[in-house]
Chain A
Amino acid sequence: MSTTTARDLTSPAPAKASQARPRRGLRGNATLNFWLFTGPFLIGLVIFVFVPIGWSLWLSFFDARFTVTPSNFIGFDNYKTVLSDPNFTGSLVTFTVFAAFIVPTTWALSLGLALLVHRLTFMRAFFRSVFFLPTACSYVAASLIWKMSIFNGVRFGLANTVLGWFGVDQVAWLADPSPPWYWLVIVTLRLWLQAGFYMILFLAALQNIPSELYEAAAIDGAKPGWQTFRYITLPQLRATSTAVILLLLVAAYQAFDEFFNLMGKATWGQPPLVILYKTAIGVNQDYGQGSAGAVILTLLICIVTLFQGKIMGFGRGEESK
């Protein structure tokens, strides 16, 4: 029913003709309608996002062990404790190392896959699906495969088996912080899981590059390959690249699932969220320190995001066309 109504109405002519009257008639209750539409969402947003943030800020100034209604105001002590805790500051270092690995590698791999798939003449949809499919897998499931089948410390893992073929000694992938082979495990896992998603974004952007640009470049004598990539494709992908890098950074800050499951009880390779989880939900249930850590992390993410936005010129306003 409703679809036919819509189709009957597609002709724009009558709409234009009598635009003024119905518009005016509706403007009166636009405010009411606005709140009708956005109200439920905004109420939820206030209760489940803004209130927790405010509560967190409040808790971070209290001694709030095992309680969410503390009475003992301790000022900035929680912040001092958290910032002098080598576990927390170490987790910030861990995150920085992690981001330094994962952001450029995912960017390069997803762009590379997109360029390859874009050039395929047949079976394009098939290969796109193959690279995209890991998006369906969870970090927990992937951690299981990585930890228990590919990167086992013992002989039956695939990675050590392959190394064995070349006469290389076995590696204790996760159980030994030096050399830090665990980074290889973590980075390959995340690469596999998320590269396909960003490949789709790059594919969409590649399809939007007008072919005249390549034709013009060919007339100007640019060699297809590196030159056209460097001077046409890459600049044309700039907006997508910026968005992808921003999303990758935010996703890296939220890393929890694979670290929690891969590293288990290890004391190394702990990102901020795992530390906060252990502080607040673990045996100590220290909501004050957990909140202080969350506030510090939030501030850090805001600074990094704004900084990156400034550098790459990612204006939110530009997007709303």
Chain B
Amino acid sequence: MTTSTPPVDRPRRARRGSVIGNAGLYIAVGIAALLFLLPFYLIVRNSLMQDPEITGENWKWFPSHIQWGNITEPFHDASVDFGRSLINSAIVAVLTTAGTLLVCSLAAYGLARIPYKHANKVFYAVLATLMVPTAVTFVPSFVLVSSLGWVDSYRGLIIPGLFSGFTCFLFRQYFLGFPKELEEAARVDGLGYWGAYWRVVVPNSLNFFTAMATITFISGWNSFLWPLVIGQDPSSWTVQVALSSYMTNQTVNYHLIFMATAISILPLVFVFLFLQRWLVQGIAQTGIKG
């Protein structure tokens, strides 16, 4: 019943594959795609235009003159240290990703594979934290972190985010589906759980690790509430906090704001395009499908 089947589309499409139907399908998808790409185009358009053209009465789809010089402008702007915020974001996102993957995957493996009589109780304690979204606990977390003296520091930005019940849960789901034979063979060879994990499980799970790394990196780079709470001093702002501060500035410098936005999105678009295959697989595998 549930054995994998050849692609379902063929017979269906042969039956109903009228040329007109197909054309209609592609027109619909094409229009939707244009709408989805439009905001990206607007960023590029605005970032390479002059302000009077952006705010002019007549809407222009293309800049009359492409202002390549705009690219460096966010880095020379005195009001916000944009370069510093990019470095902060890179450090925070990379360390958060590495730390989360390490801590959560180890815990998930323990929960999924190591027989311990209270493992289920521990797992329920982890599950319980899923019910309490991290965003709701930001007030008490801020209180805790500020009493530790971690405000405005990388520690404060990174460490509280490492212990994600959700990531642990997804890893556990994945490990439950990992072929047991591989590990058993490794144990026959005399490896303990630790050795089996690092030498058998991890090397054979690189796809899933890549997918989870991508997801964690994206959410680390894009997170806003926590860096906003922790980043009291502008030198500890991440790029999202810096972008947000542009919006509340007195003077609105349109092309600069959009150039900064474009620069902030660029690293992720690259990550996205290169790692897409794993990302899609990973999301599909996460066990969310129930």
Contact = CB atoms under 8 A, between A and B. Distances in A.
B248 to A, nearest CB: 7
A40 B181 contact: no
Contacts of A207: 8
A130 B28 CA distance: 14
Interface string B28-46: 1100110011011011001
B106 interface: yes
A30 B116 contact: yes
Given A9-B185, A15-B184, A141-B265, A34 B114 contact: yes
Contacts of A6: 182, 186, 199-200, 203-204
B221 A138 contact: yes
A16 B224 CA distance: 51
Chain A interface, >50% SS class: helix
B137 interface: yes
Contact of A55 (B7, B116, B143): B143
Contacts of A34: 110, 114, 116, 119
B79 interface: no
Chain B interface, >50% SS class: helix
A177 interface: no
A55 B136 contact: no
A57 to B, nearest CB: 8
A3 B5 CA distance: 30
A227 interface: no
Interface string A200-222: 11011101111110110010000
B290 A2 contact: no
B23 interface: no
A229 to B, nearest CB: 12
Interface stretch (A72-80, A85-93, A121-129): A121-129
A131 B36 contact: yes
**Residue in B8, B57, B111 with the greatest tally of chain A CB atoms within 10 Å:** B8
Contacts of A146: 39
A250 interface: yes
Contact of B139 (A27, A56, A256): A56
A27 B117 CA distance: 11
A27 B115 contact: yes
A305 interface: yes
Contact of B114 (A37, A196, A201): A37
Contacts of A139: 222, 224
**Residue in B132, B141, B280 with the greatest tally of chain A CB atoms within 10 Å:** B132
Given A42-B122, A261-B247, A19 B184 contact: yes
Contacts of B209: none
B88 to A, nearest CB: 14
B160 A290 contact: no
B78 interface: no
Interface string B1-40: 1100111110111011000001001101100110011011
Nearest to B222: A138
Nearest to B117: A31
B13 A18 contact: no
B144 interface: yes
Interface in A253-275: 253-254, 256-257, 260-261, 264, 273
Nearest to A116: B29
Contacts of A14: 185, 188
A22 B185 CA distance: 10
Contacts of A242: 290
A261 B244 contact: yes
A97 interface: no
Nearest to A142: B39
A148 interface: yes
A161 B39 CA distance: 15
A113 B40 contact: no
B122 A38 contact: yes
Contacts of A113: 32
B140 to A, nearest CB: 3
B290 A243 contact: yes
A108 interface: no
Pick the 3 closest A-B CB pairs, nearest first.
Answer: A37-B110, A41-B107, A204-B284
Interface of B: 1-2, 5-9, 11-13, 15-16, 22, 25-26, 28-29, 32-33, 36-37, 39-40, 42-43, 46, 54-57, 59, 103-104, 106-107, 109-111, 114-116, 119, 122, 125-127, 129, 131-144, 146-147, 159-160, 162-163, 165, 168, 172-173, 176-177, 181-182, 184-190, 192-194, 197-200, 202-204, 218, 221-222, 224-225, 228-229, 240, 243-244, 246-248, 252, 254, 257-258, 261, 264-265, 268-269, 271-273, 276, 280, 283-284, 287-290
13 contacts: A2-B198, A23-B187, A30-B193, A41-B103, A56-B143, A138-B264, A214-B12, A240-B290, A242-B290, A273-B135, A280-B142, A294-B139, A302-B131
Given A137-B40, A224-B16, 15 more contacts: A15-B188, A26-B192, A120-B26, A134-B36, A135-B272, A138-B221, A145-B39, A150-B42, A192-B39, A204-B289, A260-B244, A273-B136, A287-B143, A291-B139, A298-B137
Interface of A: 2-3, 5-6, 9-12, 14-15, 18-19, 22-23, 26-27, 29-31, 33-38, 40-42, 44-45, 47-53, 55-56, 59, 68, 113, 116-121, 127-150, 154-156, 158, 161, 192, 196-197, 200-201, 203-205, 207-212, 214-215, 218, 224, 239-240, 242-243, 247, 250, 253-254, 256-257, 260-261, 264, 273, 276-277, 280-281, 287, 290-291, 293-294, 297-298, 301-302, 305, 314, 316, 318-321
